[in-house]
Structures are given as C-alpha cells and as structure tokens.
Structure 1
C-alpha cells in the first residue's frame, strides 16, 4: 500500500526521522514545519493522511486539526496527532478537535505503520464513495455536518459484568448501550436491533473467550462488516493490539479507561460511521436513479437495453426459453387530456404496482416510455408468457384506478408477446416482434394479448 503522508513538526530531526521511516515503506511524504504551512500543504497536496505534532509555536496542532476537520473539503482526511504528551486530557482535546488517532513519541514503527495503513484504507474507501456521489459533501451531510444527530447505538461485548456496566453507565447519558456477554448473544443483538449498531466495544480481556475471533467474525459478516469496532486492551498487550488493528479494528482504549477519553473516542467513531453511511446511501441512491424510472420505480429503458442482451445470452447458452411482453395503456392520451397529467401519473404508478404483483421476482419489469412497458420473463415459453399476460390484463381491467379525489377510472391495456426463437435472435429482433404483436392487439380492438408470429 502507498499513499501521500503529510508530516508536520517544528523540529527538523523529528520530521526527517518520520520521513525516512515512511519513505522506506514507499509512502510519498510531504513535510511542513509549522501550522500555517501545514494548512497550506493540506490544500495544495491533498494528502491521504496527516501526522501532526501537537506542540508547535503559533498555530498548534490542536488548532490545525480543528481547521482541517471543520473544512468540508478536507474533513475526510485522517489526522493522527504525534506527541510526547500522554495524558488523557491531551488526547481528549485532540479527539474533540477531530483527530482520528494518536501516536506517542518516540514512535513505535509497528504502531506507526498499522495506524497509517488502517486509516489510509478508510480514506481510500471514503474517496471512492465521495467520487461516486459526485456532489457537495455539505449537501450530503445535511445541516448537522459531522455532528452527532441523536443518540448513538452501541453494543458492548464483555462477560466481565462489572466492567461492562461501568462502560454502560459512562455512556448512558449520550448513547443507547446494549451489553452482550458472549458472541452468540452479540450476533443475536445485531439481528434484533431495529437500526443496527453504530459502534461495537469489545473487551479483549474477556474470561474464556477469544475476543480477537469475535472481532474477526464481525469484520467477516456482511451485516456487521462496516460497523466500527473499539477494543479495550491492557497497556502491555502489544501483540494482540497490533493483530486487532491489522484485521480492521478501528480504535482502542488502554486500561485504566478514562471516562472523558472513552466519550471522545466513541463520539469520533460514531461521527465517522455516520459520514461514511451517508456517502454509501448517496451512492446507492445515485445508482438507483441511473437504472430506475422515477415515477413508477420500475427499471428504465437504459437498464433494459443493458440487461436484456445478457439474459438472451444466458438463455441461449443454457438452452432455456425466454419471452418478452410489451404493454401499452389503451387510450392513455385521453386520461391526460381529460383528467390532467397528475391523474395520468397516478394511473401509471398504480399500474406499475399491479404489474409487480402479477410477475415473479426474477422477471424484469421496465417502463420504456410514457405509457409503454416491457416485461422480460426468463425461463418462460410463449404459452406460459401468454398466461402471465392475461393475468396482467385481467388485473388491470378488474378494478378501477384511483386518479385523484372522487376520480376512479376504468383502464385497460394491450399486450404483445414474443419468444426467443433462435440463437441468432438479438435484442432488437425480440423487441420488434413483441411490438408487432402489440400493434395487432391495438388494431384488433385493444384490451387483449396477442402472440407474435414465429
């Protein structure tokens, strides 16, 4: 793994030492000797991570961190405070300013690279998500920015009851805390949680339980993979701490636990989790908008054109049938002209619902234009597709449509059906035959299903 690292320290020897260590691991290193230069370097070089000394003249590291994290364009960049100070209140000040982690001088090489690599991986994920959203971070985050919106949902896994209760009591004023005493209870808690948890706290020193295996399982299961993990570890348990960080654990607390540091680290992890979840939600929404019709929620023409060819190839390769059904609302123009476009939109939305209720989950329903729809039926021959078409036609005609207050309209549809005829059939061939059958249905009186000629 490589990345661009900004090293900030007012002592040249410290800068050169970190620069040499990181360069030896093939990191691209940028340096700054004071707070003002650091802020300029962040804007100019766009680093993947900042290693920031706390004690500097002028603008100190705490203020530099606060400014980085308050800027929407840089707040996603991980900041690690590098300091000779090791008092809990100093760490709390840094965490409250938005720092992602701390390293204490003299910096241990293994801790340095584990921290840098872990945070860089998170940064790369965030960058990818931000790129796909193609939007303003402030717009995505809403008015609360990175601030906590409501109480956090935390799961504490610890079979030492006294320790778990102390953690729960410390956090209860700000967060909703659930305690699990073993792995089975922990995973059951995830299944029962309505909104899922935003942070898991795991005590590495549980009695008779391999806590690292719990962390591994949490990172291996899709439902819990993105949930941050904060571990509690003894000060001399370096080996298990490094193994935990290497497997993806997000943060740690050293015993004895300081309440203020616990609160600050919990707030940091929940804040970061909410940020990345909003990004993921935005990505999913963008993908859905690209392939679905906004009015009906069915797939759009672009999705049909992309996937129908693949479905035809699968059918040909496996020797399976495939049918395509085209549907058009009869006299739909008169609905818009007489009752207005809002009424027409409501009719189309209700029609989409009746189509969904009449087909299987593996079938592909698309709105391809105004009142035109295409339904792809994998593994379905012409005779079965005809029965599906009749089911849809009857579902539409059997019940009036609610087109607005005191406006109930009788609607019918015409359908044309074509079956995959040969290995040489293309998307255009199949759709053309189905359309020709649909035109026949229109000419012969509407409200009927017509099969395409072989």
Structure 2
C-alpha cells in the first residue's frame, strides 16, 4: 500500500485516536498514536511525522505545549500542528490560533474536510522542504534552529476582496482596530485593480455560493506574482464541502461561519509570519545560488558559470549572422608578482585586472575567472575583425596602465596574453565544447610562446 506521509495523532481518549486512525489510514497515511505529552520529544525524534493532530487538551498538557515541542526540534520546526477543539467552543478555537497552532478543527468534522486541511498543510510543508539544503537541520535563511514560535512581521499589505463595497468596508472597519497591517479594499469584479498595484502579502477572499470565489482562488494561486501570497477564504456558512474546495483550490486557511474579525486577524498573523519566513528562505537561497556562480575575490563569474554560459552560447543560433567567440587570457609572469610583492598585492592585481576587463567587454559578452590568473571571455555574436579588435583592447587595458600596489615604490607594469577562436557556428548537440576550449588554449600558448603580451587566433578543430 502506498503511504503518503506520517501523521502523529495525540489524544487522551482512545476512541478519538482510533477514529482518526481509521480515517487517515483509509487515505493511505501512516498513523502513529500517543495519548500524552510525556515522552513526546523522543517519539517525535523516532517517527519524524509530517503532520501532528492533537486534542486541544491532553492529560498532562495542551496543544500549545505540543506546538512548542515540535518547533524546538530543528528537524521538525516546519511540521504543521493542528488542534482539535471541542464542538461549539469558539473561544477554544481562537485560543488555539492565538497559541500559534497551524490550524484548528472543531469536532465532529467530516472526513473530507479533515483530509482537505491535511493536504493543504502538507503542500505548504513541501514548499518549505524544497528550500532546505541537503540533510542539514537548518532551513535556508536562518543561522540557527527555530526555537520559538514564529513572530509576525510588524506590518503586511493585506487586500480585502469582496463581492460588494459594503461588505469590504465592514470587514476593513472591523479589522482596523485590531490589525497592525495595511488594509486595502478591492471588488472581486475588478481584479485588474488588485493585480496592477504592488503584490499584497495576503488576500482575504469572500467565498459565496457561486463558483466565482473559488475560481479567483485558483487564479491567484496559479499566477507567478501572487503564487506566494497568503490566501484566506472567508465562508458565510459552515459548509464543509465548500471549505474543502477552497483548500484544494489554493486557500492557505479557511474561516467558516461568516466573518469573525478576531479569527481572521489571528489567521492573518500566523499565515503572514510563515510567509515572511518563507520569503527570507527564498531570498537567502536565491542569494546563495547567485553566489555559487561568482568568484569571491574578483566579483567576476567563476568557471562553473563560464562553462554553462559558453555551452548555452554555443548551442544558440546567432542573432546577427556572426558566430560566437571563446577567449582565454592569462596574466604574464603572475607568480613573479606574488613572489616579489606578496599575495595581497597579487590579489590587488587580479581584482584590478578583472575590473578593467569587465569594463572593456561591457554588454558584448561575459568575463569569468576560471583559474588562478586565468580568465575566460565569451562573446555571443562577433565578427572576426571585431573579436580581434576587442582582444587587443583587452590586452591594452592591462598593459598600458601600470598597477599601483601598496608595497611597490612605483606602479608595476603587468601584461596579459590572449588566445581566441575565430567566430564559430553554433554547435550541434553531438559536438564537444572541449574542442573549442582546446583551440583557444592552443592560441593562448602560441601568444605566450611569441613573447607574451600578444593576441593569437586559432581556428577551432570542432
């Protein structure tokens, strides 16, 4: 039997645990059961649940205690914890949200609603896991494990999307007195106004009996601009079927039985706090990926980037009818600079040379540092004459202006040798890029052999 994930059920009443196990096992989840808080930390470490369902009150604790235990484990900090509150106990439901629980179910509940909420929460957790690196326990974007409940940001931009202006005004007025967030009303009939401004952090959506609200949820979740926006659906009635549909269409949370300012505000705070955490993780991941393509000393692209860029350049048809060019450049007698003036001065020469070459090439191509004092230049579209002239300009930008070094009494002259391939037609998928690099390397060797501070051209053997 296929198992979709592991769910930990915590309840002091055995019949409740059994009932939940039957419901969840039928949906192909693996169920682990416990009845009290005592021993939970060890159970969490052994079972690594994907989600926790917990009665709001346990024999020796509460759902809030469970949430704190889960968050305290750096490997489980993103595991959703859902409280099961007593029937018709609105205060208990609100307290669970105030305690930082990820969601609240009020018993008794339909299987379909339970499973829809589980699916929604597991999808959100999967997004978090995609932002984690390797087997490390720390999420990207944090230097330490999350030891406390996530604190909401100071202010978020919240859009209120309703069928009529009157309802939007009522919701905004009710929230204004208790919300730290910036609130703005929009009509569901005018989605252009919502999408044309700055992207909101969260959107409250009125879900009526028609399909319009559900379609809006699906539309917003599918758009690149609003894919990470928090979507909170507000239902007029306790309609489990409509709530399930809203969750499956992309709602991050559902508020049933009409608009309740306190509940909506608690959901906003919890969901916006998680979004802020995810945004930080995404930003750090993006920054980390960008840095993985950059040489830390010179700020140029590194060898990894150069090979990917050159391969892409080699497979694309030319926009101008000219071919692409590979250049390899090597600073002459660089070891002598290091030996005579020290490695700090050598780094100064590398950094300054990189800046000069990058400025010279500009938008015509890329410059990458691929070795100690070796650089690669790629030009996507260049005529033979243009490529040779640029190579000579690169040579001159190094050799004609000596380098000022901290331990040198006078500016130090530096030269560079450059080898390049003639403009090359796009390669087929079967042709190796290595042959082009070998040709450029042979041209570089010829430039060195000719006395250095030279430019040499070689036709590719590819």
TM bin (shorter chain): 0.7 to 0.9
Say which of 196, 216, 225 aligns to 1:188.
196
2:111 aligned partner? 109
CA contact (8 A) 1:366 1:374 kept: yes
CA contact (8 A) 1:126 1:276 kept: yes
2:52 aligned partner? 50
Which has the larger displacement, 40-49 or 387-396?
Answer: 387-396
Give me the whole-angstrom Cα distance separating, in 2, the residues matched to 1:147 and 1:345. 44
Give me the whole-angstrom Cα distance separating, in 2, the residues matched to 1:214 and 1:81. 28
CA contact (8 A) 2:293 2:304 kept: yes
C-alpha change, 1:359 and 1:83, in structure 2 (3 Å) is same
Give me the whole-angstrom Cα distance separating, in 1, the residues matched to 2:366 and 2:160. 43
The structure where helix makes up a greater share of residues is 1
Give me the whole-angstrom Cα distance separating, in 1, the residues matched to 2:58 and 2:148. 31
CA contact (8 A) 1:35 1:64 kept: yes
Give me the whole-angstrom Cα distance separating, in 2, the residues matched to 1:15 and 1:403. 74
- The Cα of 1:325 is off from its aligned counterpart by 0.7
2:456 aligned partner? 450
1:203 aligned partner? 206
Which has the larger displacement, 331-340 or 231-240?
Answer: 331-340
How do 1:357-376 and structure 2 match up within 5 A?
357-359=359-361, 363-376=365-378
Give me the whole-angstrom Cα distance separating, in 2, the residues matched to 1:178 and 1:346. 53
Give me the whole-angstrom Cα distance separating, in 1, the residues matched to 2:411 and 2:186. 55
CA contact (8 A) 1:8 1:38 kept: no
2:421 aligned partner? 418
Matched, 1:147 2:151: yes
Deviation by residue 1:240-277 (Cα, 9 ceiling, x = unmatched): 43222112110122354444323321121122112222
* Structure 2 residue matching 1:202: 3-state secondary structure: strand
Which has the larger displacement, 402-411 or 58-67?
Answer: 402-411
C-alpha change, 1:453 and 1:310, in structure 2 (3 Å) is closer
Residue segments in structure 2 that go unaligned for 5+ positions in a row: none
Matched, 1:436 2:449: no
Give me the whole-angstrom Cα distance separating, in 2, the residues matched to 1:162 and 1:203. 13
How do 1:40-119 and structure 2 match up within 5 A?
40-119=42-121
- The Cα of 1:205 is off from its aligned counterpart by 5.2
Give me the whole-angstrom Cα distance separating, in 1, the residues matched to 2:215 and 2:135. 35
CA contact (8 A) 2:71 2:148 kept: no
C-alpha change, 1:167 and 1:230, in structure 2 (3 Å) is farther
Which has the larger displacement, 88-97 or 132-141?
Answer: 132-141
C-alpha change, 1:143 and 1:105, in structure 2 (3 Å) is closer
Which has the larger displacement, 324-333 or 441-450?
Answer: 441-450
Deviation by residue 1:210-241 (Cα, 9 ceiling, x = unmatched): 33333223212222212221122212454443
Deviation by residue 1:166-199 (Cα, 9 ceiling, x = unmatched): 2551454x23334444311211222xxxxx5432
Deviation by residue 1:396-450 (Cα, 9 ceiling, x = unmatched): 5677778689998776543210144887863333222212322333444544432
1:2 aligned partner? 4
Deviation by residue 1:359-413 (Cα, 9 ceiling, x = unmatched): 4769453211122111233354544432443454455567777868999877654
CA contact (8 A) 2:72 2:148 kept: no
C-alpha change, 1:105 and 1:133, in structure 2 (3 Å) is same
C-alpha change, 1:264 and 1:342, in structure 2 (3 Å) is farther
2:173 aligned partner? 166
Give me the whole-angstrom Cα distance separating, in 1, the residues matched to 2:362 and 2:135. 32
Residue segments in structure 1 that go unaligned for 5+ positions in a row: 191-195
C-alpha change, 1:97 and 1:346, in structure 2 (3 Å) is farther
* Structure 2 residue matching 1:291: 3-state secondary structure: coil
Q: TM-score, normalised by structure 1?
A: 0.83
* Structure 1 residue matching 2:57: 3-state secondary structure: coil
1:193 aligned partner? none
CA contact (8 A) 2:202 2:230 kept: yes
Which has the larger displacement, 24-33 or 341-350?
Answer: 341-350
2:124 aligned partner? 122
Q: TM-score, normalised by structure 2?
A: 0.82
C-alpha change, 1:132 and 1:148, in structure 2 (3 Å) is farther
Give me the whole-angstrom Cα distance separating, in 2, the residues matched to 1:283 and 1:394. 39
**RMSD in angstroms over aligned alpha carbons?**
3.7
- The Cα of 1:18 is off from its aligned counterpart by 1.2
- The Cα of 1:145 is off from its aligned counterpart by 7.3
- The Cα of 1:300 is off from its aligned counterpart by 2.1
Which has the larger displacement, 114-123 or 238-247?
Answer: 238-247
CA contact (8 A) 1:327 1:373 kept: yes
Give me the whole-angstrom Cα distance separating, in 2, the residues matched to 1:262 and 1:367. 53
* Structure 1 residue matching 2:101: 3-state secondary structure: coil
* Structure 2 residue matching 1:328: 3-state secondary structure: strand
C-alpha change, 1:215 and 1:431, in structure 2 (3 Å) is same
- The Cα of 1:355 is off from its aligned counterpart by 4.0
* Structure 2 residue matching 1:36: 3-state secondary structure: coil
